[in-house]
Amino acid sequence: MKPTHRELLAASVVLSSLVAPVAVPLGVEAWRRDARAAGMPTITLTGLMDQGAWTDEEVTAGNAWRRDFRRARPQLRVGGTVRLRLASADVVHSFAAPGLGIDPVEVYPGRVLELTVTPAASGIFEYYCTTVCGRPHFAMRGFLEVFPAEGDTLPPLPERPGAGYWSIPPPAGNGTVARGAWLYRRQGCVTCHGEAGAGGVPNPNSMNALVPNLASLARRTFFFTAADLGAFLTVLERSTPLATVKEAPAVPLFSLVKAQYLATYHLVRDGRRSSKLDPAGHHPPLDMPAWGARLSDDELNAILAYLLTLDGGAGDGASPPHRKGESP
Amino acid sequence: MRSPVLGCSPQRLDVLAALPPLDRLVRRRWLPLAPAVVLLALLALFVTAGVLGTPVGNRNGLVVFVWILWWFLLIAVLLPFGARAWCAACPVPLLGDWLQRRSLLGVRSADPRAGKDGPGRLIGRNRYFGLARRWPRALSNIWMQNLGFLLLATFSVVLLTNPLASAVAVGGMVILATAVALVWRQRSFCRYLCPVGGFLGLYSLASALEVRARDRSVCATCRDKGCIAGNERAWGCPWLEYPSRLERNCACGFCLECVKACPHRNMGVFLRPPFAERRLAGWDEAWKAYLMLTLALAYSVVYGGPWGGLKDAANIAESGDWAAFGAYAAGLWALALVVVPGLYLGAAWLGRRMAAADEVSVRQAALAGAASLVPFGLLVWIAFSVPLVLANGSYVLAVASDPFGWGWDLFATASIPWTPVVPHWTPWLQAALVGGGQAAGLRSGWLESLDAFAQRRRALAGFAPTAVLLTLTALLFLRLYTG
Amino acid sequence: MESKSQGRGGFVLGIAALGAAVALAAAALPAFSVRPPVEHELRVTASRYRFDPPVIRVARGDRLRLRLAATDVVHGFYLEGYDLDVTVAPLSRELEVRRGGGPPERLEEVVLVADRAGKFRYRCSKTCGVMHPFMVGELVVAPNRLLRGATAAVLVVLLGGLLTVWKTSPRGAVR
């Protein structure tokens, strides 16, 4: 070959070594995506821990710094098989959508998991992340819309409580109840148990169908007046742990109160896996977490103190008297 | 009285003479271009992965292949056994070379007496495109590389863990190298700016390979001088060295143009015992030695150590805590520029006092002492790099099948779980490397001190404080790695 | 000159041999105080990107009962040299423990006997963020023969080297 031909060959080799490694993978991936989409509709969901969301936008090394990815709202049709691709941009997540028959599947960062799903019924179904994946984890839920075979109308999406809960600033002052209220929100309890413990968030296939209402906690802990509750809270603050306190004259039915309080305390501290209503059905997506793994005894007591003050703390509807030094 | 610097160590093997097929191969114009082009393709692939691939560092081709595989091969294999051989096949300056030479395989040569017979600057007998300016004399040292490496090291956590940051750094280097090639002559970027080149140059002193003239008397009567001036067979040394007089590995990039150029076949590649070259040429190289030692220590503590607070402080991209990062950076810079150099300079000064050797300058004593940090530093860097591959090498296998994290599985290895390989051997390997480094460092430092101080006893006194300091440094590393 | 350098070579070998011997001896020395095994109950907390406690020091034969917890995201606990891999999820009391090649067990704590002496790092084995590959802690099981032996070897090389040079340096000798 003449030198110029060799030179041309070399030049084309160098240029293609610059272009091909960019063009070929992109081309191959584009072809793969087209092939996937042609076979059946494909939805790719990527888990994001910082936003607490599954997004259907593409997350790459170049745009992962964004904090405004769109929360996915996949739209499916009854009877239409859809390919679901699950990925994570950061840590281990788990995807669950019991309404579509998807039990929790672990999604590892950098890997892609593929599922196929054929919705049998129309409606609005919730999807979840069921592995604690950071502070915003409890917000990592959204809705799938399954349209009926004919027609395009569905009821509006429900609201869920506690949006942006993890960025609430701490309370001023050092009152136990105020701190408890803050923790209740900041730790994400509000996303399942609702504003002011109202409950009502659905937990499919669980015994209770809905996440329990906590506003009646005081009544269930044998507090009948605000004064009783105030006296108990004073005991709680003065001598912890409560288990060592033998008697407290100021609190009526103290032994009952103590037993019930400790039972609630242990439930919050150790958590509980939700029981299935239908044993053959899917596992309820929402379990009670073991908060003792993250929160101290004082923090747990503060949350319970706050919960006890909900609903007036007693049948008389009045809130307990503010104690000295505590801000409302 | 200093002995004359020998250009080559007495025990050496002439590789090209021993392997004639290799000798024929290295004269081909497509070597080392061919491996460079392959590496260019890989660079393009991995930079693309760094921008468009998964943001998860340990599943992204750029992070895994560059900071685990390439790094380990470079520091543990290529550098000790091949000196600056990486530089011969490095893809970063490839485009710049092409623009300068306006040819990939050919050589543009002209008789300088024939006058201007085409575009381009004439350097020796070769014509180059671009301004081909001389690198400024004041910067004709490795200070820029020292600074550049320290800057990169300060942000190393961001670089190592963030694919986008790595892509910007690597891509930025290619752009910078190409731009520099259009303004300054030949491989000025590689010799004076490239941060990787800085430590490759220093530690290549300790390596087992060298390019040297076979017989200098042949050079004395040579009229061609193609090795530096270039001729129709090859370009003049792109590394701005005079190959006939080449005595040090530091600035030789193993491009083998001189081997191709020499009409007398007088340039050879030689295998030699490790740690054969010891002499440091100036303060810039001494500071590089201090800097690399400091960074080996810092990285062993931040990356290899169990102290999360330091990792958080260094991880500015995720923590956003500029106060902590500022403290970390200040500490790192103080250590690298003041504390470690201060200690080793102090030891050299003390030794000089103990030896009562006024005719030996502090500079000579310091350079002799710093010479001990070349073998020690290299082996300690290898020791630091061992757990990277033993613990995390399996990522390379997995990511090879899915370099972008898009769900590919090219070689059916994408699902390989993270599998450490005999990780509990790590402390043993590290201890052996630190111990070996200390022994080799003591030897190098002692032999340099022998050259610097006239008498054995004075050399002993002169080197003793540095020897003790080096041993204490080794004990510190041992404690970190095995205690 | 010839014999001198040969002599020096001999000295170097001598030092190397001495260093190796001392290193082996130091490594082989049993622990100064041999005490009965102790049971340690430890709470090890994993968060991004550290383990707390970062260093665990025990003696060979001690029993460790580790209560592992994660504060933020799913972490792993892989102990080098013991082939133990635990997956730790936040807000849960259950751990998924894998030993050897066996099936995973769901336990609330991990019990292991530190039957191997030396330094064993525990690493996070579930990607937990950008610094995951560097999330590491250290289990040091005494007697630490390697540290002792290596320290001894290094000191012997220094002292032996200085001594050798001293002995081979008569007054006024040049090089």
**CA A123, chain centre distance (Å):** 21
| Partners of residue B121 on adjacent β-strands | B128
**Is A244 part of a structural domain of the chain?**
yes
Confidence of residue A326 (pLDDT cuts 50, 70, 90): very low
Helices (H) and strands (E) in chain C, counts: 2, 11
Residue A27 has pLDDT above 60, yes or no: yes
pLDDT score recorded for residue B114: 56
Residue C7 has pLDDT above 90, yes or no: no
Do A172 and A265 belong to one domain? yes
Neighbour order of strands in the sheet with C50-52? C50-52, C39-47, C63-70, C110-113
C136 contacts C123 by C-beta, under 8 angstroms: yes
Q: Which residue on chain B is closest to C171 by alpha carbon?
A: B457
**Is B74 part of a structural domain of the chain?**
yes
CA of C162, closest CA in chain B: separation in Å? 7
> How many residues in total does chain B contain?
483
Domain stop point among B232, B251, B271: B271
- Is A25 near chain B, with CB under 8 Å? yes
Contact C157 B308 (CB under 8 A): no
User: What CATH code is carried by the domain that includes residue C96?
Assistant: 2.60.40.420
**Is A172 part of a structural domain of the chain?**
yes
Identify the residue among A50, A65, A92 best suited for mutation to test binding to C, counting C beta carbons within 10 A and taking the highest.
A92
Query: What whole-number distance in Å separates Cα of residue B331 and Cα of residue B310?
Result: 11
Size of interface A-B (CB pairs under 8 A): 102
**Is A31 part of a structural domain of the chain?**
no
Q: Please name which of B308, B438, B406 lies closest in space to residue B59, comparing C-alpha atoms.
A: B406
- Give the side-chain half-sphere CA count within 13 A for B471: 22
Residue range A272-299: mean pLDDT, rounded: 92
Phi, psi of A42 (to 5 degrees): -125, 135
**Is A157 part of a structural domain of the chain?**
no
**Is B276 part of a structural domain of the chain?**
no
Q: Name the strand (E) or helix (H) holding C101.
A: none
For C174, the closest of B303, B318, B454 (CB atoms) is B454
For A110, the closest of B94, B98, B405 (CB atoms) is B405
pLDDT score recorded for residue A314: 42
| Partners of residue A105 on adjacent β-strands | A95
**Is A260 part of a structural domain of the chain?**
yes
Report in angstroms the alpha-carbon separations of B420 from B13, B423, C6, C170.
38, 6, 45, 54
**Is A12 part of a structural domain of the chain?**
no
Contacts of B435 in chain C (CB under 8 A): 150, 153-154, 157
Position B170, amino acid: V
Domain stop point among B240, B271, B302: B271
Across C3-154, the runs of DSSP E, i.e. the strands, are: 39-47, 50-52, 55-59, 63-70, 75-79, 84-88, 95-99, 105-107, 110-113, 118-123, 136-142
Size of interface B-C (CB pairs under 8 A): 142
Pull the structure tokens for residue B473: 């440094």
Identify the residue among C71, C74, C95, C130 best suited for mutation to test binding to A, counting A beta carbons within 10 A and taking the highest.
C74
Do C77 and C104 belong to one domain? yes
Angle formed at CA A22 by CA A18 and CA A24, multiple of 5 degrees: 110
Q: Which residue on chain C is closest to A89 by alpha carbon?
A: C129
Pull the structure tokens for residue A141: 């839920």
In this structure, of B212-216, B291-295, B453-457, the range with the lowest mean pLDDT score is: B453-457
- Is B418 near chain A, with CB under 8 Å? no
Q: Which residue on chain C is closest to A92 by alpha carbon?
A: C74
Dihedral angle of Cα A5, A8, A9, A14, to the nearest 10 degrees: 160
Identify the residue among C128, C163, C165 best suited for mutation to test binding to B, counting B beta carbons within 10 A and taking the highest.
C165
Position with higher pLDDT, B472 vs A173:
B472
Residue A87 region by backbone torsions, left for phi larger than 0, else alpha for psi between -120 and 50, else beta: beta
Query: What whole-number distance in Å separates Cα of residue A179 and Cα of residue A173?
Result: 9
Contacts of C133 in chain B (CB under 8 A): 57-58, 391-392, 395
Do C61 and C127 belong to one domain? yes
- Alpha-carbon dihedral sign for residues B389, B390, B395, B397: positive
**CA A11, chain centre distance (Å):** 55
Do B138 and B230 belong to one domain? yes
pLDDT score recorded for residue A228: 87
A 32-71 near B (Cβ less than 8 A): 32, 59-62, 64-65
Contact C154 B455 (CB under 8 A): no
For C92, the closest of A91, A133, A290 (CB atoms) is A290
Q: Give chain B's domain count.
A: 2
Q: Name the strand (E) or helix (H) holding A246.
A: none
Residue A321 has pLDDT above 70, yes or no: no
Identify the residue among B62, B64, B103, B104 best suited for mutation to test binding to A, counting A beta carbons within 10 A and taking the highest.
B104
Dihedral angle of Cα B311, B313, B318, B323, to the nearest 10 degrees: 180
Do A127 and A206 belong to one domain? no
Domain that holds residue C155: 2-29+148-167
Q: pLDDT tens digits, residue range B21-52?
A: 999 999 999 999 999 999 999 999 999 999 99
Identify the residue among C55, C158, C163 best suited for mutation to test binding to B, counting B beta carbons within 10 A and taking the highest.
C158
A 84-123 near B (Cβ less than 8 A): 85, 87-90, 109-112, 114
**Average pLDDT over chain B, rounded to whole?**
94
Do C17 and C91 belong to one domain? no
Contact C146 B450 (CB under 8 A): no
Residue B362 has pLDDT above 90, yes or no: yes
Q: pLDDT tens digits, residue range B165-178?
A: 999 999 999 999 99
Look up tokens 């097929």; give the residue. Answer: B21
Neighbour order of strands in the sheet with A82-88? A53-55, A42-48, A82-88, A113-117
Query: What whole-number distance in Å separates Cα of residue B134 and Cα of residue B185?
Result: 6
Do C59 and C90 belong to one domain? yes
Contact C129 A133 (CB under 8 A): no
**Average pLDDT over chain A, rounded to whole?**
89
Confidence of residue A3 (pLDDT cuts 50, 70, 90): low
**Is B201 part of a structural domain of the chain?**
yes
pLDDT score recorded for residue A15: 97
Quick one: DSSP state of residue A126?
Answer: E
Task: Using an 8 Å CB-CB cutoff, list residues of chain A that contact chain C.
Answer: 49, 90-92, 108-110, 131-135, 270-271, 289-294
Look up tokens 């290549």; give the residue. Answer: B204
Q: pLDDT tens digits, residue range B398-435?
A: 999 999 999 999 999 999 999 999 999 999 999 999 99
A94 contacts A104 by C-beta, under 8 angstroms: yes
Contact B41 A88 (CB under 8 A): no
- Alpha-carbon dihedral sign for residues B248, B251, B252, B258: negative
Contact B44 A21 (CB under 8 A): yes
Do A180 and A214 belong to one domain? yes
pLDDT score recorded for residue C159: 94
CA of C58, closest CA in chain B: separation in Å? 12
Do C68 and C136 belong to one domain? yes
**Is C107 part of a structural domain of the chain?**
yes
With residues binned 3-state (H G I as helix, E B as strand, rest as coil), the percentages for chain A, rounded to 5, are 40, 15, 45
C 73-112 near B (Cβ less than 8 A): 78, 80-81
pLDDT score recorded for residue A243: 83
Contact B442 C157 (CB under 8 A): yes
Domain stop point among A147, A173, A200: A147
pLDDT score recorded for residue B381: 98
CA of A11, closest CA in chain B: separation in Å? 7
Contact B163 A61 (CB under 8 A): yes
Contact B460 C150 (CB under 8 A): no
State yes or no: cis peptide before B423, omega within 30 of 0.
no
Q: Please name which of B310, B362, B360 lies closest in space to residue B341, comparing C-alpha atoms.
A: B362
C-alpha radius of gyration, chain B, whole number: 23
For C91, the closest of A49, A90, A289 (CB atoms) is A289
Q: Which residue on chain A is closest to B63 by alpha carbon?
A: A61
B 160-199 near A (Cβ less than 8 A): 162-164, 167
CA of B103, closest CA in chain C: separation in Å? 43
Domain stop point among B204, B238, B271: B271
State yes or no: cis peptide before A108, omega within 30 of 0.
no
**Is A20 part of a structural domain of the chain?**
no
Confidence of residue B120 (pLDDT cuts 50, 70, 90): confident
**Average pLDDT over chain C, rounded to whole?**
87
| DSSP H helical ranges for A135-210 | 176-186, 189-193
CA of B407, closest CA in chain A: separation in Å? 5
Contact C91 A131 (CB under 8 A): no
Contacting residues for A244 by C-beta, under 8 A, at least 6 apart: none
Do B231 and B351 belong to one domain? no
CA of C100, closest CA in chain B: separation in Å? 12
| Partners of residue C141 on adjacent β-strands | C58, C118
In this structure, of A241-245, B102-106, B148-152, B335-339, the range with the lowest mean pLDDT score is: A241-245
Domain that holds residue B380: 283-482
pLDDT score recorded for residue C3: 44
Confidence of residue A293 (pLDDT cuts 50, 70, 90): confident
Size of interface A-C (CB pairs under 8 A): 53
Position B353, amino acid: R
Residue range A71-80: mean pLDDT, rounded: 94
**Is C54 part of a structural domain of the chain?**
yes
CA of A143, closest CA in chain B: separation in Å? 25
Query: What whole-number distance in Å separates Cα of residue C98 and Cα of residue C83?
Result: 8
Residue range A83-91: mean pLDDT, rounded: 96
Residue B354 region by backbone torsions, left for phi larger than 0, else alpha for psi between -120 and 50, else beta: alpha
Angle formed at CA C97 by CA C74 and CA A53, multiple of 5 degrees: 20
Residue A246 has pLDDT above 90, yes or no: no
Do C101 and C120 belong to one domain? yes
Q: Which residue on chain B is closest to C164 by alpha carbon?
A: B460
pTM of the model: 0.93
Do A136 and A245 belong to one domain? no
Q: pLDDT tens digits, residue range A176-200?
A: 999 999 999 999 999 999 999 998 8
Pull the structure tokens for residue B4: 């004359």
CA of C70, closest CA in chain A: separation in Å? 8
Q: Name the strand (E) or helix (H) holding A75.
A: strand A75-77
Q: Which three-class secondary structure state does DSSP give residue A163?
A: coil
In this structure, of B53-67, C32-46, C137-151, the range with the lowest mean pLDDT score is: C32-46
Phi, psi of A185 (to 5 degrees): -85, -50
pLDDT score recorded for residue B382: 98
Do C50 and C136 belong to one domain? yes
Residue range B373-386: mean pLDDT, rounded: 98
**Is A212 part of a structural domain of the chain?**
yes
Do B307 and B232 belong to one domain? no
SS (H, E, C) chain B: CCCCCCCCCCCCEEHHHHCHHHHHHHCCCCCCHHHHHHHHHHHHHHHHHHHHCCCCHHHCHHHHHHHHHHHHHHHHHHHHHHCCHHHHHCCCCHHHHHHHHCCCCCCCECCHHHCCCCCCEEECCEEECCCCECCCHHHCCCHHHHHHHHHHHHCHHHHHHCHHHHHHHHHHHHHHHHHHHHHECCCHHHHHHCHHHHHHHHHHHHCCEEEEECCHHHHHCCCCCHHHHCCCCCCCCCCCCCHHHCCCCCCCCCCCHHHHHCCCCCEEEEECCCCCCCCCCCHHHHHHHHHHHHHHHHHHHHCCCCCHHHHHHHCHHHHCCHHHHHHHHHHHHHHHHHHHHHHHHHHHHHHHHHHCCCCCCHHHHHHHHHCCHHHHHHHHHHHHHHHHHHHHCHHHHHHHHCCCCCCCCCCCCCCCCCCCCCHHHHHHHHHHHHHHHHHHHHHHHHHHHHHHCCEHHHHHHHHHHHHHHHHHHHHHHHHHHHC
B152 contacts B310 by C-beta, under 8 angstroms: no
In this structure, of A35-39, A136-140, B66-70, B319-323, the range with the lowest mean pLDDT score is: A35-39
Do A143 and A251 belong to one domain? no
Q: Which residue on chain B is closest to A21 by alpha carbon?
A: B45
Position C151, amino acid: T
Which residues in B175-211 are b (16+ Cβ under 10 Å) and which e?
eebbebbeebbbbbbbbbbbbbbbbbbbbbbbbbbbb
pLDDT score recorded for residue C14: 67
Identify the residue among A6, A14, A43 best suited for mutation to test binding to B, counting B beta carbons within 10 A and taking the highest.
A14
For B427, the closest of C52, C123, C146 (CB atoms) is C146
Angle formed at CA B183 by CA B182 and CA B189, multiple of 5 degrees: 85
pLDDT score recorded for residue C11: 61
pLDDT score recorded for residue B111: 66
Q: Which residue on chain C is closest to B454 by alpha carbon?
A: C174
Residues of chain B with pLDDT > 90, as a percent, come to: 93
Q: pLDDT tens digits, residue range C76-86?
A: 999 999 989 99
Residue range C97-111: mean pLDDT, rounded: 93
Query: What whole-number distance in Å separates Cα of residue A104 and Cα of residue A82?
Result: 18
Phi, psi of A252 (to 5 degrees): -70, 150
pLDDT score recorded for residue A173: 83
Q: pLDDT tens digits, residue range A196-220?
A: 999 889 999 999 889 989 988 988 8
Domain that holds residue A291: 165-313
Quick one: DSSP state of residue A295?
Answer: S
**Is C172 part of a structural domain of the chain?**
no
Q: Which three-class secondary structure state does DSSP give residue A87?
A: strand
Q: pLDDT tens digits, residue range C30-68?
A: 655 568 899 999 999 999 999 999 999 999 999 999 999
